Every structure is written in structure tokens, then in C-alpha cells.
Amino acid sequence: MSKHPVSKDFANQVKPRFPVNFFCWLKKTFITSPFQTFSEFYVRAARYTPFNSKAKAVLLRMRGMKIGKMPVIYDCVWVGLPSNVKVGDYVNLSRDVLLAPGAQKHESIEIGNEVMIGYGAKLLGSDHQIPEDLNESIRWSGHTAAGGIVVEDNVWICANVVITAGCRIGTGSVVAAGAVVTKNVEPYTIVGGIPAKLIRRRTGKQSH
Ligand SMILES: CC(C)(COP(=O)(O)OP(=O)(O)OC[C@H]1O[C@@H](n2cnc3c(N)ncnc32)[C@H](O)[C@@H]1OP(=O)(O)O)[C@@H](O)C(=O)NCCC(=O)NCCS
């Protein structure tokens, strides 16, 4: 048996073959990578000021990300596939935030208005399929159907939170520092822990 047993039929179906892989390599090497390297260098090198937030937003928009009014984008914010990310107005992305949508439409990341995402938070918009067949490679098994992350308006995601694919974070909720969110979060609740559980509900009245 080979060192990495893979069902041959399956591998042949999924792996890109010549000349497709050659053209992908050409595109990546001479078109995508230089442009990405430039914009990522700029996004990383710029320090946090409102002006630089604007400049970072311009570069991310050039790469297809939809960003609303007045974003605040700190250093070292990493966006995996900007064209599959949508961010509302007055959103705050702190240092080391990672937004990692998948390549498919249903694996997008959508963030509402007035959302704050704390230092080091990671939003992981896609999951690899884990095949039942133990001989099949996870590498070539594709992604699950339950993808994407939606963060509704007026949410605070604290530092070092991890949000897994398929979760919706309800409006007005808070995800406490270090939580790993694996299920939807109800509106106006505070959740925390691994996996994230209800800490308490916000009980105040709505003024309008
Ligand atoms: C979310 C947070 C604000 C909670 O505030 P709160 O509602 O006032 O909560 P409390 O401090 O009253 O604690 C309520 C309960 O939740 C628990 N709790 C608080 N923070 C928690 C966390 N991060 N993970 C798990 N449980 C937590 C407390 O231990 C307490 O449990 P108990 O009732 O069993 O004693 C706060 O804990 C937090 O996560 N702060 C980090 C903020 C941050 O990341 N700042 C960086 C800038 S973006």
C-alpha cells in the first residue's frame, strides 16, 4: 500500500491535470501573486490611522471585498479571499484578525454594521469534508455544504475568538474572549467558552 492511500478514481476526478494546472501556475506566479504580495505588504506595513484604514480598505476593495463606510482596519488583518467577504458600515477589524471564507459562494463571510472584531479573532468560513472511507484522502475530499459565516449588526467579537463555518452570530450579541463558536448565537446574548455556551442574556429594554 502506498504511504498516502487515495482512491485513484477520486483523485483523478479532483486533482487538476495538465494543461489546466500549468495555466493555474502561470496565472498564480505572474498575475495573482505579485499583486497579492504588493497589497498584503501594504496592508501589513501600514500603521493604524484613519487614513491608512482607508488605504487598506481601497486595496481590499480592489481585490473584490465589499466594505461599507468608515472601516477601521488595524495592522496584520488577513483576508483570505476578499472577493467572498462583505463588511458593513463602521466595522472595526483589530490587529491579527483573520477572515477566511471558502472559495464557494455559500462559504462567504458577511459582517453587518457596527461590528467590532477583537485582536486575533478568526472567522473560518469553510470546512473540509471528512470522508467516511478511511482510504480516501481528506486532502481531495472537497468542502462541506455547511459553510459561510454571518455576523449580524451591532456584535462584539472579543479577542482570540474562533468562529467555525456555518454559524450565524445574532444581532446585539457578545462573544467572550477565547470562545470557540460552533453553533448559531442568539441575538442579545453573551456567550463564551469552548464550545461557546450562553453566559447570560442582555435583558435591558430597547429604546427605539
Ligand atoms: C465578554 C466579557 C466582556 C463578559 O463580560 P460580562 O458580561 O460583564 O461577564 P462577567 O465578567 O460578569 O462574567 C460572567 C460570567 O462569565 C464568565 N466569563 C467571563 N468572561 C469569560 C470568557 N472570556 N470565557 C468564558 N467565560 C467567561 C465569568 O467567569 C462569569 O462566570 P460565573 O458567573 O460562573 O462567575 C468579558 O469577559 C470578555 O470576554 N472580555 C474580553 C474583552 C476583549 O476581548 N477585549 C479586547 C478588546 S476587543
CATH code for position 144: 2.160.10.10
For a mutational test of ligand 1's pocket, the pick from 199, 200, 202, i.e. the residue with the most ligand atoms closer than 8 A to its C-beta, is 199
- Is 203 buried (19+), middle (13-18) or exposed (0-12) by CB count in 10 A? exposed
- The catalytic site residues sit at 128
Residue whose C-alpha cell reads 477572515 in the numeric block: 99
Give me the domain span that covers residue 34. 19-201
**Average pLDDT over all residues of the chain:** 86
Residue with CA nearest ligand 1 atom 34: 199
The reported pLDDT for the residue numbered 121 is: 98
Number of domains into which the chain is organized: 1
The reported pLDDT for the residue numbered 49 is: 55
The reported pLDDT for the residue numbered 2 is: 46
Ligand 1 pocket, residue 159 CB under 6 Å: yes
> Which ligand 1 atom sits closest to the C-alpha of 158?
44
The reported pLDDT for the residue numbered 19 is: 72
The reported pLDDT for the residue numbered 149 is: 97
Tell me the C-alpha to C-alpha distance, in Å, between residue 152 and each of 139, 156, 164: 32, 10, 15
Does residue 120 fall inside a structural domain? yes
Positions in the chain whose pLDDT score sits under 70: 1-18, 35-51, 208
Distance (angstroms) between ligand 1 centre and the Cα of 199 equals: 8
Contact 109, 67 (CB under 8 A): no
Residue with CA nearest ligand 1 atom 27: 192
Residue with CA nearest ligand 1 atom 10: 199
The reported pLDDT for the residue numbered 43 is: 62
Ligand 1 pocket, residue 76 CB under 6 Å: no
Does residue 14 fall inside a structural domain? no
Ligand 1 pocket, residue 195 CB under 6 Å: no
Please count the residues of the chain: 208
> What phi and psi, each to the nearest 5 degrees, are found at residue 199?
-95, -50
Distance (angstroms) between ligand 1 centre and the Cα of 176 equals: 6
The reported pLDDT for the residue numbered 1 is: 43
